[in-house]
Amino acid sequence: MTIQAQPETIFQGLLEQVFEALQRRNPTEFQMRLWEREADQLLRASRGDGLEIKAHLAALRGEDEECDRLYSTALHVTDDYADAAVRYLALLATRLRPEKLLEVYRDVGTAFKGNPQAIRFVEALLAGEGFIVSAWKLSEELSKMGSFSAAGPAAESEQTTQSMRIDSQEDTDFGAPLAFAKRFLASRNIEQQGVRVSPSVSDENGSTVFFQIRTDQSPEDAAQTETELFEALEVAAFPLESQGKIVLGLIGTRAVLD
């Protein structure tokens, strides 16, 4: 599932541009004003779509409260609730606001019922934030619907979750060290390119969830950053991470080709 609702619309084009700007670069003030004007025009044609673009622009300016207010209104007036909710969650993930993401997910989660495409997207989104308790529940839902899961081999996930007694854990127990790592990388202006989540259970290594963050770095630099991250994690002392039940690692995606 992509974050676009309808292909080939002004909304889609604008959304692509502002979402990309959120992920990669700071737009100029001139560009921001152009987008604001287009959002105002869109607002007159389709209020929900216009509000969503304005919410993205608020996020681009770093105005998170305004972004939340605009998205909250957009969700009330949109005729495309499930997709709008998915886009809001994606925006929150991009803005490194996992706590708000979880809060919004708990409010809007029922909107995805019976929609395997949306569930799969949200499952991957939640897993990528470390919220594996909720992601696992969505994986179960997909399995009941006869649909495949996005977050990895379901059987392995189930074994891991059972052996780690995930039901007695909170999403935030798993998400907090990952959020810490993401913020650590962001504070160093290291571009992040996604997270791979690998739950595993084995006699030789016990039960772990392995989060690998892809970074726009050489492997050598990633290994160096990883060491610094590990030092910071020692000080932060997250219980599941300190016990080795959550393992973090980086992948420097600029592989050496010669």
Partner 1 sequence: MAISEQDLVDFASNAAKAGALETELRAAISRAYYAAFHALVPFAGKLPKSRVCPPSLEHVNHRELRERLIEWRTDAVSPRLKSMIATKSTLSRALEAACNARIIADYRIGNEVSLAEAQTQIARVKGILRQVKQIQAEIDRDRLDDSAVNSAEPA
- In the complex, which residues of this chain contact partner 1 (CB under 8 A)? 152-153, 198, 200, 202-206, 208, 210, 212, 214, 219-220, 222-224, 226-227, 230-231, 233-234, 242-244, 247-258
CB of residue 205 vs partner 1: minimum separation in angstroms? Answer: 6
The three-point CA angle 65-194-86 to 5° equals 50
The three-point CA angle 39-43-47 to 5° equals 135
CB of residue 249 vs partner 1: minimum separation in angstroms? Answer: 4
Burial of 189 (0-12, 13-18, 19+ CB in 10 A): exposed
CB of residue 141 vs partner 1: minimum separation in angstroms? Answer: 22
* Ordered strands of the 192-202 beta sheet: 192-202, 206-215, 246-252
The residue type of 143 is: S
The residue type of 46 is: S
Q: Which is nearer to partner 1, 195 or 250 (CB)?
A: 250
CB of residue 218 vs partner 1: minimum separation in angstroms? Answer: 8
Helix, strand, coil content of the chain in percent (nearest 5):
65, 10, 25
**Coil, strand, or helix at residue 251?**
strand
Distance, in Å, from the CA atom of 86 to the CA atom of 3, rounded to the nearest integer, reads 7
Q: Which is nearer to partner 1, 186 or 223 (CB)?
A: 223
- C-alpha distances (whole Å) from 30 to each of 24, 26, 33, 34, 226 are 17, 12, 5, 6, 38
CB of residue 208 vs partner 1: minimum separation in angstroms? Answer: 6
210 phi and psi angles, rounded to 5 deg = -105, 115
CB of residue 94 vs partner 1: minimum separation in angstroms? Answer: 22
